[in-house]
Amino acid sequence: MKNYLSLSIWGFGPGRPHDNAYIAKKLLLNEDGLYLSFEDGEECRVFRPEGVVLSDQGIRIENAEKIVWKFYCYGEPQREAALTTITWQRIDRQQVRLSARGWFQQDQILSVRGEIALSAFGEISGLLKASGFNKDQK
């Protein structure tokens, strides 16, 4: 499968690793942050990322101010009612506030001590090339 990523955000991800493979369509990285769009209108935005590493095998972001992940709940029809937005807002080096809206509602503070902000692994060499990034760019 080409240009796919399996996501983990501060150690939390939908399903087990590799269960949540999303087909990446677009990657932007600028002074405002990182933006990933996926098949079917799903997207991930990372605000004020630090320690960004892009490689053919994925994306690693050590820290961020905020991450917003919009996705359709697994197993549900891809319709507006199943679209969920989860926001992770950094409180300090050890905690984030998770707020989920959409298919399910959730608001809690999580311990993320020792976890990196975003780990997205898979195969994105074609996406990097199409987006104008060099291999293993930092």
pLDDT of residue 4: 87
Residue 40 is assigned to a structural domain of this protein = yes
Compute the average pLDDT of residues 82-101: 92
Residue 138 is assigned to a structural domain of this protein = no
Residue 51 is assigned to a structural domain of this protein = yes
Q: The tokens 């990182």 sit on which residue? A: 34
What is the C-alpha to C-alpha distance for residues 111 and 133, in angstroms, rounded to an integer? 33
46 and 60 in contact (C-beta within 8 Å)? Answer: no
pLDDT of residue 113: 84
pLDDT of residue 138: 53
Q: Is residue 61's pLDDT more than 90?
A: yes
Q: Is residue 127's pLDDT more than 60?
A: yes
60 and 80 in contact (C-beta within 8 Å)? Answer: no
pLDDT of residue 90: 95
Residue 111 is assigned to a structural domain of this protein = yes
Q: Is residue 62's pLDDT more than 80?
A: yes
What domain range includes position 112? Answer: 4-131
* 88, 103, 43, 135 alpha-carbon torsion, rounded to 10°: 70
Q: Is residue 27's pLDDT more than 90?
A: yes
Number of structural domains found in the chain: 1
Residue 136 is assigned to a structural domain of this protein = no
pLDDT of residue 19: 67
Residue 36 is assigned to a structural domain of this protein = yes
Residue among 68, 77, 73, 67 at smallest CA distance from 104: 73
pLDDT of residue 54: 93
Q: Is residue 136's pLDDT more than 70?
A: no
Residue 137 is assigned to a structural domain of this protein = no
